[in-house]
Amino acid sequence: MKLRIKITKDAGIRFISHLEYVRTIERAIRRAKLPVAYSEGFNPHMKFSLASALGVGVTSEAEFVEIELGEEIDLPATIKKLAVNLPTGIRILAADLADTKADKLMAQAGGADYRIVVPCKDCDWQAIVERFNEAESVLFQKPVPKGRGKTKEIEVKNFIDHLEAECSGDDLQLAFSCKITPTGSMKAAELLVVLRDSFEMPLLVEKADILRTDLYAVDEEGKKKSLLKPEYIA
Amino acid sequence: MTKQFPIDILSQVQKPARYTGSEFGSIVKDAEDTKVSIVLAFPDIYEVGMSYLGFKILYHILNQEEGVAAERVYAPWVDMEAKMRENALPLTSQETGKTLRDFDFVGFTLQYELSYTNILNMLDLGQVQVFSKERTNDDPFVIAGGPCVYNPEPLADFVDFFIIGEGEEIMVELMNAYKQWQSEGMPGGRSEFLNRAVLIDGIYVPAFYNVEYLPDGKVAKVTTNNSLAPATVKKRVVKDMNTISFPTAPIVPFGEIVHDRIMLEVFRGCTRGCRFCHAGMVYRPVRERKPELLKQLARELVDNTGYNEISLVSLSTADYSCLAPLIHDLITELKEEKVSISLPSLRVDSFSVALAKEVQAVRKSGLTFAPEAGSQRMRNVINKGVTEEDLMNAVGAAFESGWSTVKLYFMIGLPGETDEDILAIAQLAKDVQYKYFQVTGHRGAKVTVSVSSFVPKPYTPFQWKGQDTIDEIRRKQMLLKDALKVKNITYQYHDSVTSVIEGVFARGDRRLGKALYLAWQRGAKFDGWSEHFSYSRWLEAISDCGLDKAFYANRDREMDEIFPWEHIQPAVSRAFLWNEYQKSMREELTEDCRHGKCSGCGVCPTLDVKIIDWKEQGHDEAKN
């Protein structure tokens, strides 16, 4: 049996790394004494995984963890126990139970939604957003992880097709969906770099407040589908 | 969520989670519930400070007190400091984001002489006046404790008062005194509170003492200028470790820290009497926790933290009288939960190797032993009661158990050391390699020889002894390097320039405060990190103040010389230390008073405490 939970990474802990976030959840599972399954071998490790890594500095209302269990559990009681053992900054939003053989959430994730608030002083944001939305192709030199400055050209529009924008004062708010494909995805922060460098939008990228609002599967018709069962508990 | 640094700053520094708090187990008290606030300030980075057991204990003890809020702050790394100064952002606490200046107390720990510049830097970043005499009623009290308080004199200009000895009881007394003063409307301002604080045993207010010097620079006398101040301040000790509270729900950090595991303190003090060892002299006597209590604490710690490793810590854990049964019981209880036990250090004997084998059932990382000196003669000088046979038995047992990597710790620059003593280190390392061949029939044991240079410390028998000069240490290092050009032997050493400055401050006086200030003004910080340490900056700062490093570090001192630190008392008598110094020169050993006869160090009668050893005293708990 697998316990699957949807949790947050709130602003107070946005700067912990993905690895630190994983370790924190592992320790919370241990504190809550969940009957979690361990791998075999000399150095057994806890069988649990996260659906997708979040960039350092990004907050989220849609992190997914799946935990393989060694025995049956009572879902509401388990969630209650786990909740008190998580640090401030990680809240449980939803949970369900699935068969151990169910596809990994990581493999099911097809897209993520983001909302960004970023300072943009004196910028012609409506025209730029329109230009982006209407562009056939937007290319970006994506840095290769550990590539020492090497980059790989990607088509931004394959991942992010449309932006919603509004502005209040000097703060521009952007909302968009970003596809996750088997060959990769794009970071929300990278979109800001594209807008700044290729569209000459005067964004203060380093001050951007980025929130992942959702992570979901995408069905054959391209519709969003919740990763957890509809009868989840909140 | 508490107040934090802006996103753009945090996103441009290394490891930003160092500065954002919110860890599981951190305690954030509401302002309206807080009468007294103290920030425990560690003068090094987060990963080092979070590994320090002393602050875990004080954080717990202080936050247990009603109306007291204890928070934490660490030295920001240089990248963060640059951002803070550029944007005029003050140094703030992890818990509530409060500027240091707005606390009632800022409490530093003095772990290491080379962290002193970070103290000045943190005060400055926290908007607290660096010099005590310039602080007003709006400033916090800057206090300090920890092992270096047995000579706090170089910090006398910067610290309002020092906490001498173990903090559990005295810190609560101090908080109560503050609450009392507060409830009376803080009569008399800062000076009145100092007059009250000094009445608490173990508090040393440096401004209440005058130091006079002889023409040659030595101390003539130390007198008090306030009738309330005691002539000598004796350290505080917890008489029974079983009656004080231990933190069983410590903060669990997000990121990896230096000691990223549960720390369970099994006992305090060590009476082996190694003559170079500051901790062994100032933390006396040995006081053990009961095995039953330790098992209960371990259970709570595992439940509350989720860590999968417990380290049994003390100055010499292998000396815990009930160690084998304790480890056995802990392993039995915690195996199912995949919690392992670790020992921070091993004694040089086969008993320790057997324990290491038991706790490290799986991983075969190398074992580390500390013979400290290469020749038997030198080991007798330092009263390290270890023979070559002990070492051969220990490594032999390790090789038989499947280990093939051994690390050996030594010191050079010990009193009376000859070149033969240095070369004996190389011979010992080769003998260890040969032992592997004898035991296994194979060659190729990896031996690492790690050598540090000796720094004489106050309140040790070598407090009279001059430290080797830097040239002499370098010559000895090269001598050993030549002798260790052997396959599979790795020789580790560091340039000893940091040891020189450490030596100056370890036995320095309050005139060094000027040099400390000057060095900090000229950019000194993180001096314990070799990439930030500048030897020339220190030498210039010291000589620009009209001081001489050799006077403090390299000079042999007379039997009757008055030391700058003698009004601070860890209660080890001067007569005992002198006698130990004399015995060292005759290469005579002194036995461990825990099992043998009393060595007359004076600690037990002076402080009205006694050794607590569960096995020696035939307690039932020891028999399980």
Using the Cβ of A89 and the Cβ atoms of chain B, whether some distance falls under 8 Å is answered with: yes
Cβ distance of A27 and B22 shorter than 8 Å: no
Q: Do residue B57 and residue B198 come from a single domain? A: yes
Flag whether residue B260 sits within 8 Å of chain A, measured between CB atoms: no
Q: Which of B197, B219, B234 is the last residue of a domain?
A: B234
| CB spacing of A204 vs B8 below 8 angstroms | yes
Helix, strand, or coil (residue A140) = strand
* Separation of alpha carbons B268 and B285, rounded Å: 8
Contacts of B17 in chain A (CB under 8 A): 13, 15-17, 20
Domain count, chain B: 2
Confidence bin at A40 (pLDDT 50/70/90): confident
Amino acid symbol at B165: G
Min Cα distance A132 → chain B (Å) is: 26
Q: Which of A8, A16, A18, A204 is the mutation pick for testing B, counting most B CBs within 10 A?
A: A16
Of B8, B307, B338, the CB nearest to A44: B338
Helices (H), B41-77: 46-49, 53-64
The span from the CA of B446 to the CA of B443, in Å, is 9
CATH (one of 3.30.450.70, 3.30.70.580, 3.40.50.300, 3.40.190.10) for A2-108: 3.30.70.580
Considering only the beta carbons, identify the residue of A20, A86, A204 that sits closest to B17. Answer: A20
Domain assignment present for B83: yes
C-alpha distances (whole Å) from B167 to each of B55, B144, B202, B480, B575 are: 10, 11, 9, 42, 27
CA distance A38 to chain B (A): 10
The CATH number of the domain holding residue B172 is: 3.40.50.280
Q: Is residue B152 part of a domain?
A: yes
Query: Residue B333 above 90 pLDDT?
Result: yes
**Single pTM value for the model:** 0.94
Give the one of B255, B303, B306 whose C-beta lies nearest to A28's C-beta.
B306
A34 vs B contacts (CB less than 8 Å): none
In this structure, is residue B153 part of a structural domain?
Answer: yes
Per-residue confidence (pLDDT) for residue B2, from 0 to 100: 54
Q: B624 pLDDT exceeds 90?
A: no
Residue B95's pLDDT band, with cuts at 50, 70 and 90, is very high
Is A122 or A4 the better-scoring residue by pLDDT? A4
8 Å CB contact of B22 and A88: yes
Using CA atoms, how far apart are residues A155 and A139, in angstroms rounded to an integer? 5
Residues with Cβ within 8 Å of residue B376, at least 6 apart in sequence = B387, B388
pLDDT computed for residue B357 by the predictor: 81
A35 touches chain B (CB under 8 A): no
- Residue closest to B107 by CA, chosen among B45, B54, B35: B54
Residue A182 scores a pLDDT above 90: no
Contacts of A84 in chain B (CB under 8 A): none
Is B249 a member of any domain?
A: no
Please answer yes or no on whether A13 and B20 come within 8 Å at the CB atom. Answer: yes
CA A20 to chain B, closest CA, distance in angstroms equals 5
Best A8, A10, A15, A171 residue to mutate vs chain B (most B CBs within 10 Å): A15
> For residue B461, which of B586, B583, B375 has the smallest C-alpha distance?
B583
Same domain, B194 and B272: no
pLDDT tens-digit series, residues B494-513: 888 999 999 999 999 999 99
Check whether residue B299 and residue B168 sit in a common domain: no
Structure tokens at A141: 């030199």
d(CA B191, CA B187): 9
For residue B366, the model assigns a pLDDT of: 80
Q: Residue B1 domain-assigned? A: no
- Spell out the alpha helix ranges (H) of B487-572: 497-506, 512-521, 535-544, 549-553
Q: What's chain B's Rg over C-alpha atoms?
A: 24
**Which residue is it, tokens 């110094």?**
B581
Angle between helix axes B388-400 and B419-440 (nearest 10 degrees) is 30
B596 has a pLDDT exceeding 90:
no
DSSP3 helix / strand / coil % (chain A, rounded to 5): 25, 35, 40
Task: State the amino acid at position B49 in one-letter form.
Answer: G
pLDDT given for residue B345 in this prediction = 79
Cα A221 to Cα A208: distance, rounded to the nearest angstrom: 33
Query: At B466, which amino acid appears?
Result: G
Q: Provide the CA B38 distance to its chain's centre, in angstroms.
A: 21
CA distance A230 to chain B (A): 31
Quote the tokens at residue A94. Answer: 């939803």
What does the alpha-carbon distance between residue A119 and residue A138 come to, in Å, rounded to a whole number?
23
What confidence tens digit (pLDDT) does each residue in B363-405 have? 557 888 999 999 999 999 999 989 999 999 999 998 998 889 9
For residue A178, the surrounding DSSP H or E stretch is: strand A171-179
pLDDT (mean) for A178-186: 89
The whole-angstrom separation of Cα A83 and Cα A91 is 7
- C-alpha to C-alpha distance for B52 and B42, rounded to whole angstroms: 9
The architecture of the domain spanning A111-218 is 2-Layer Sandwich (3.30)
The answer, for B362 touching chain A at a CB cutoff of 8 Å, is yes
DSSP-assigned letter for residue A66: E
**Is residue B308 within 8 angstroms of chain A, CB to CB?**
yes
Decide if B53 contacts B268 (C-beta within 8 A). Answer: no
pLDDT digit string, tens, across residues B161-219: 999 999 999 999 999 999 999 999 999 999 999 999 999 999 999 999 999 999 999 99
Q: For residues B270 and B215, state if they share a domain.
A: no
List the domain range (segments joined by +) for residue B330: 262-511+547-607
DSSP-derived 3-state class of residue A24 = helix
Query: Of the candidates B6, B252, B255, which has its C-beta nearest A16's C-beta?
Result: B255
**Cβ neighbours of residue B40 under 8 Å, at least 6 residues apart?**
B55, B58, B59, B70, B71, B72, B73, B107, B109
Residue A44 touches partner B, C-beta closer than 8 Å: yes
The complex scores an ipTM of: 0.91
Which of B7, B19, B252, B262 has the highest number of chain A CBs within 10 A, making it the mutation to test binding with A? B7
Pick from A51-60, B28-37, B171-180, B359-368: least confident: B359-368
* pLDDT interval class at A232 (50, 70, 90): low
**B253: closest chain A residue by CA:** A24
For residue B528, is it within any domain?
no
Inter-residue contact B335 to B378 (CB < 8 Å): no
Are A37 and A70 within 8 A, CB to CB?
yes
pLDDT of residue A167: 92
Q: Give the length of chain B.
A: 624
Question: Contacts of residue B338 in chain A, CB cutoff 8 Å?
Answer: 38, 44
B231 touches chain A (CB under 8 A): no
Is residue B429 a part of any domain in this protein? yes
Q: Which residue of B has its CA nearest to A21?
A: B254
- Candidates B161, B160, B166, B132; CA nearest to B147 is B166
Report the CATH number that the domain containing residue B492 is assigned in CATH.
Answer: 3.80.30.20
- Please tell me which of the candidates B12, B307, B363 has its beta carbon nearest to residue A27: B307
Within 8 A of A16 by CB-CB distance, chain B residues are: 17, 20, 254-255
pLDDT at B554 over 60: yes
Contacts of B337 in chain A (CB under 8 A): 30
Instruction: From chain A, pick out residues whose CB is under 8 angstroms from the CB of B19.
Output: 15
Q: Please name the residues in contact with B340: beta carbons below 8 A apart, sequence gap of 6 or more.
A: B308, B309, B310, B334, B359, B360
Tell me the mean pLDDT in the region B411-428: 97
B chain contacts of residue A11, beta-carbon cutoff 8 Å:
1
What length does chain A have?
Answer: 234
- DSSP three-state, residue B593: coil
Is the CB of A20 less than 8 angstroms away from the CB of B24? no
Determine the Cα–Cα distance for residues B485 and B470; give it in Å rounded to an integer. Answer: 23
B207 lies in the same domain as B290:
no
Cβ separation B22–A30 shorter than 8 A = no
Interchain pair B252, A207: CB under 8 A:
no
Both ends of chain A: CA-CA distance in Å? 20
Residue B331 has pLDDT above 90, yes or no: yes
| SS3 label, residue B405 | strand
In a domain? residue B92:
yes
Nearest Cα neighbor of A4 from A65, A52, A61 is A65
Question: Do B458 and B569 belong to one domain?
Answer: yes
Do the Cβ atoms of B276 and B460 come closer than 8 Å? yes
Min distance B117 CA to chain A CA atoms (Å)? 28
Same domain, B364 and B454: yes
Would you give the distance in Å from CA B254 to the centre of its chain? 24
Question: Which residue spans of chain A are classified as CATH 3.30.70.580?
Answer: 2-108
Strands (E), B318-459: 340-342, 367-372, 405-412, 446-453
The percentage of chain A sitting over the pLDDT mark of 70, rounded to a whole number, equals: 98
Nearest CA distance, B76 vs chain A (angstrom) = 16
Mean pLDDT throughout A201-219?
94
Identity of the residue in A17, A27, A204 whose CB atom sits nearest the CB atom of B252: A27
Q: Is B86 on the interface with A (CB under 8 A)?
A: no
| Other CB atoms within 10 Å distance of the CB of residue A34 | 21
Residue B94 has pLDDT above 90, yes or no: yes
Partnered with residue B209 across adjacent β-strands are: B224
Maximal C-alpha separation, chain B: 78
